[in-house]
Structure 1
Amino acid sequence: MELGVHENLKFENETFSKCFTCLLVTDNDALSVLNCQSSEYAITDLLTKYFWFQYDDFREDHILCATCWNQLNSFHRFYLKVASNHKRLNQSTEAADIEVLPKELELNSFEANGNSSSQESNLKVAGDDPIVKVEIESDCCSEKSFDVPKRKVSKRKTGRKQAVKKERKPISYKVKTAQQLADEDKIIRTHVQYTCETCAGISPTFTSFQKHVKDSHGTKAFIVCCGRRYYKKVNLLEHVQQLDKPDLFKCDVCFKSFINNHGVRRHKQQMHLPDEIKIYRCERCPKRFAKQSHLSVHLKGHETLDNETAKCAECEKSFPSEALLKTHIKIRHTRPTDYICDVCAKGFYSKTDFLRHKKEHELSPAALRVQCDICQLWFRSRIHLNDHKRRHRQPPVTCDLCGHTSPNKKAMASHKRLRHGESSLVCQECGKTFKRPISLREHMASHTGDALYSCNFCERTFNSSANMFSHRKKMHPEEWMQLRNVQLAERRGELDSER
């Protein structure tokens, strides 16, 4: 069965993520590991049957890519075919063994004991079971000897390596008290109720809700919150806790926030493991990894970059995978607005950026401000701070066209665009070209007479920012210097009050 043929299998339509089995970044053609099951079997059953995974290893955000699903499904059907063929083979072979047994032996054994009903239990033949048991009492064998034909068994070659079964690590469970479970249900019910979607019945606890859905409707229980299904209480609890405290699940090394505990653990394993644990080192770059699979995925990215198989046609930027190229095209060139803010009508492509933007409306600007621990500058959000910190880690860059030195790559890109780039913006009135949209906008104001800027200290208006700043420094020097000192103090964190 190829992917997409079965009508009961549904794809995840979420953002890009990694496949649970091959750990490669995949696109929207992926199946949810927990939520996807058909009338024949579930994905979790196949993964636990043929791999070392356990049911507790699976989470709501785990997905399976199309390639892995096709291979897993093909192997499962191959396994069923082989098992069925050998089952019929064993049944036919054992049936032939029973036919060569002398009928007189069976009759003599019944006459010697005088109780045929007790001896019938010694000959057991299961209709569908390929294993046939034949038990003969020792006194019956003394009257007539016979040989039962045996099946030939081919021994395995000693030179072949024997498969070593991996020992599973024991999982330690911490038993929660009744009070702890009640407190968790109370936290969850502050956001969503345990309401059955079939009969609209409300349950007081998650356990009673699961029991009701299973006993009454014969289905698997789940709670819908923020448009997502939650089948496990721990995942639902972490979700509602993250809604109350957005920074609850935070990395203690780099202070990056995540939506659940699993995201924090995965982030720390990939980004903050000590070097002595990262024994797999890339020969082409300084990166090191703790697992061979992570290094293999990384090396595939190098091959993709060398062959330029994932290269953007518009900006000619190369990426280590097709998934990252698709994301780049959508964000930088297409920029679809899948999420619209209901407060300011601003559009977003990423759900994460959209939710982060919504928090900015809920919190005050002073509460969102963060400070750089390197240069002590203050920024209005953590996004701007992270972008600023990346510049600290970058060395100065020299322009290959004019020798100009910029402090980082972003500044160099801006320099090349403004100094050496082509003027692609054209004025529709006079045909003059510009490199920046703000320059074209200020130029158009000279044609239309619109006032784009106004002085803070008088009623005079201007159509360019340069004229406005020149006017304030020349005509209002004292007020301008006072305003400049206030702005610098706010940026340095010396003034906490909002302007």
Structure 2
Amino acid sequence: MEPRVKDDIHSSSPKREVEHTRDRPFSCGLCTKTFTRSTHLKLHQRTHTGEKPYICEQCGKRFALSSCLLRHNRTHSGERPYQCDRCDRAFSQSSSLKQHLRVQHNVEENEPFTCKHCPKSFKRAYHLKMHMRTHTGEKPYSCDECGRSFALSNAYIRHQRVHTGERPYKCDQPYSCDVCGKSFSSSSNVKTHMRIHTGERPFKCDQCGKGFSQLTHLKQHQWVHGDRGSVERLQCEGFGWVI
């Protein structure tokens, strides 16, 4: 009896092809695309036929999809249903609003929780809640020994070591953040770090208006615009030197 040879891992499986066809039974006769519904196939075929059944009554422009006509009609009506919750700007398309939030308010899509008092945004509601204390001044963690209060629990725990004498780490960073307790080797580093809590972004891009908390971040961003001259001419407002 001849030994059985297993099929090559890259060989096609008839069963898998049948299952794939069963999941997406509607296939295009002009390309390899398949669809789960016949209506999706019908709409797709317009990319091949050039059919554009939806016509604008104002200017006569034609569209393949009704949703495209709906968006186009806003150019005539002036309707702007997408309102920015950070300023008074409104937009006719959601993509324009997303771009506005990213450029003007430094809000990314993966950071949906935004602060109403500054440009900062967060991935989680809890982080926004902690950040809000930098604006409200809330410091719920109070030291029983000296009465000093802190916004974050980890800052309170670090402070307790002042009274207990506990020194788990070598002290080469004598400057600490009053908000989170993080330590630094110089006061200027504390000042830069505080921008994480305040949301301050003093370094602005003259090409798109996007702001950055550190000059080095702005320098890296300038390469997006391909303007090497601007990068080389960047001047630090805080120290008065030129890169």
Shared topology, TM-score over 0.5? no
Task: Give the structure, 1 or 2, with the largest relative contact order (CA under 8 Å, sep 6 or more).
Answer: 2
Q: Which has the larger radius of gyration?
A: 1
TM-score, scaled to structure 2:
0.31
